[in-house]
Amino acid sequence: MKLIPVSSILLVTVIIFISGCGKNKELEKDVATIAESMCKITGVMNKLIAADPADTATISKLQIEEMQCQEEMHKRNLEFREKYKSQLNDTTFRKEYSRAIRKAILSCPHLTKEDRERYEKEMD
């Protein structure tokens, strides 16, 4: 199914596009909301992959949920970029964000074992 590459591309794009982060509580909260959205998308994608292709009602429901999650993710990314636009080009900010998003996404129960290991390795 084409869903695995889509979710992987989305995760990588978000991480690369907004790589950076500060250490204050407000920024950590913003990173957590982005990670939460990423986790939701991953969960829906996993359900879509596992769904019976003949169960069109479930597939349709999950596709609608996927679109809603993508819209939510897009909205949160826009809000984040607007809020931190003056810092997005700062290398230190991007490195801190990258580390923080990886840490936050590790709490996602929908990650595959391989993704979890990769994020943990990238934390080092």
The residue type at 23: K
**d(C-alpha 40, C-alpha 52), whole Å:** 20
Two tokens at 30? 């913003």
Q: What is the mean pLDDT of residues 11-30?
A: 61
| Coil, helix or strand at residue 84 | coil
The residue type at 99: R
**d(C-alpha 36, C-alpha 59), whole Å:** 22
**d(C-alpha 110, C-alpha 105), whole Å:** 10
**d(C-alpha 114, C-alpha 35), whole Å:** 17
pLDDT band at 5 (very low <50, low <70, confident <90, very high): low
Decide if pLDDT at 26 tops 90: no
Instruction: Give Cα separations from 99 to 3, 20, 46, 89, 102 (angstroms).
Output: 26, 8, 25, 16, 5
pLDDT band at 72 (very low <50, low <70, confident <90, very high): very high
The residue ranking higher by pLDDT, 5 or 61, is 61
| Coil, helix or strand at residue 68 | helix
Decide if pLDDT at 21 tops 50: no
pLDDT value, residue 20: 43
Decide if pLDDT at 45 tops 60: yes
The residue ranking higher by pLDDT, 62 or 96, is 62
Asked whether the beta carbons of 44 and 23 are under 8 A apart, the reply is: no
